[in-house]
Amino acid sequence: MILDSVGMFDAAAAFPEQLARALDVSRRAVDGAVLPQHEDIANIVLVGAGAAGQAGALVLEAVGPTIPVPIVVHRGYGVPNFVDESTLVVAISFDGETSETLEAAQDAFVDGATVVCVSGGGELQTWALANDLVHLPVMPDAPVERAAIGSLAVPVLVLLDRVGMYPGAEAWIDAAIAQATVRRNELITESNFARRLARQLGRAFPIIYGGNGPGGTAAEFWKAQFNQNAKVAAFSNQVPELTHDEIAGWGQDGDVTRQIFQVFMLRHDFEHPQVSSRLAAVEEVLVEVVGAVYVVEAAGDGLLAQLFDLELIGQFVSLHAAVEQSIDPGPVPIVSEIASRVGDS
């Protein structure tokens, strides 16, 4: 009997439907909104913490190759000093109660930026409506924020499409839905590879590496999923950066590291050729100093589909890792405890 008090496995299995519903709802919400003109936007700031920040990072990687203006993800309080009346700020929060995001949105508004809020209600929505700002809903299709990456990211993608910054977003989201459906159907079978990976991981600590940009973003997502679902310390990094520093740390203590670490290498079809070569070289080094190296290949039509594909796989691997240790993947009381200790919401 699987211990899953809030339905994390069901949420992961419903990921294609989560994407589809988010697209439908976001399309209708954006169509009725008054938005800035393309030529009036000089830069874009995506504000969010936790899974909302990860959604922002996913959006940045998906639109980065084609977007005509600078775009950054901001995950803390306040906003960067460059924010002004030519900035589009998108404040993202699963429940609308994230204090960092609310403060950043309010500061951006004072600085004259165009602020669009994306949330499942809460104080962020209340504040947005009180100030006649555009608010896009995050649908309640997941029990917790970290299971809602589609509900958080899709409204932002649709918004960027409508302001001329990510043309064709709906087609790319449709491609992501198609791949998520294929992958979901594979991962809900009795003997799926996510379960096998979790069993092979056992009680080792997972390290997740990916190629610079998309692969690194997916690696960070996997890390957070392991942290919160399996309640295990996990670590992530990306190539080429880790080949300039972290790789040197694997040169000693192989007799120890082989016992406690296993590595997941996340690969996709949009890697820079040099990144691909470096990932292969890193794999050759690691097989000598860690317990195992697993290569996980993304699939799907387009960069967005492959990003979501890797992140869906990460959800399932981390959930099965929780099962292997008889851990309930849903509750993360330490997160609330830290917030209460500092008087935060």
What are the pLDDT digits (tens) for 29-86?
Answer: 999 899 999 999 999 999 999 999 999 999 999 999 999 999 999 999 999 999 999 9
What superfamily does domain 189-324 belong to in CATH? Glucose-6-phosphate isomerase like protein; domain 1 (3.40.50.10490)
- Cross-strand partners of 74: 47
CA distances from 221 to 13, 22, 162, 165 (A): 17, 20, 27, 25
- Cross-strand partners of 263: 207, 293
**Mean of the pLDDT values across residues 207-222?**
97
* Range list for CATH 3.40.50.10490 in the chain: 8-179, 189-324
- Cross-strand partners of 206: 262
The predicted pLDDT at position 339 comes to: 80
The predicted pLDDT at position 131 comes to: 98
Rounded distance between C-alpha atoms, residue 178 and residue 200, angstroms = 29
The predicted pLDDT at position 119 comes to: 99
What count of residues does the chain have?
345
Question: What DSSP character marks residue 145?
Answer: G
Outline where 188-250 has alpha helix (H).
193-201, 214-225
Asked whether residue 195 carries a pLDDT value surpassing 80, the answer given is yes
Rounded distance between C-alpha atoms, residue 124 and residue 25, angstroms = 18
Q: Give pLDDT tens digits for 135-188.
A: 999 999 999 999 999 999 999 999 999 999 999 999 999 999 999 999 999 999
- Radius of gyration from C-alpha coordinates of the chain: 20
Mean pLDDT of the chain: 97
Q: State the pTM of this model.
A: 0.96
Asked whether residue 246 carries a pLDDT value surpassing 90, the answer given is yes
Query: Per the omega criterion (within 30 degrees of 0), is the bond before 143 cis?
Result: no
Asked whether residue 22 carries a pLDDT value surpassing 80, the answer given is yes
In 94-154, which ranges are E strands? Answer: 114-119, 134-137
The predicted pLDDT at position 120 comes to: 98
- Options 2.40.50.140, 3.40.50.10490, 3.60.21.10, 3.30.43.10; which CATH number does 8-179 get? 3.40.50.10490
The more confidently predicted of residues 109 and 213 is 109
Q: Which residue has the tokens 């100093």?
A: 289
Q: Give pLDDT tens digits for 2-17.
A: 899 999 999 999 999 9
The predicted pLDDT at position 345 comes to: 54
Q: Is 330 helix (H, G, I), strand (E, B) or coil?
A: coil
Rounded distance between C-alpha atoms, residue 110 and residue 140, angstroms = 30
Percentage of the chain surpassing pLDDT 70?
Answer: 100
The more confidently predicted of residues 336 and 234 is 234
Q: Is 88 helix (H, G, I), strand (E, B) or coil?
A: strand
Rounded distance between C-alpha atoms, residue 303 and residue 321, angstroms = 27
Rounded distance between C-alpha atoms, residue 331 and residue 345, angstroms = 17
Query: Residue 212's pLDDT band (boundaries 50, 70, 90)?
Result: confident
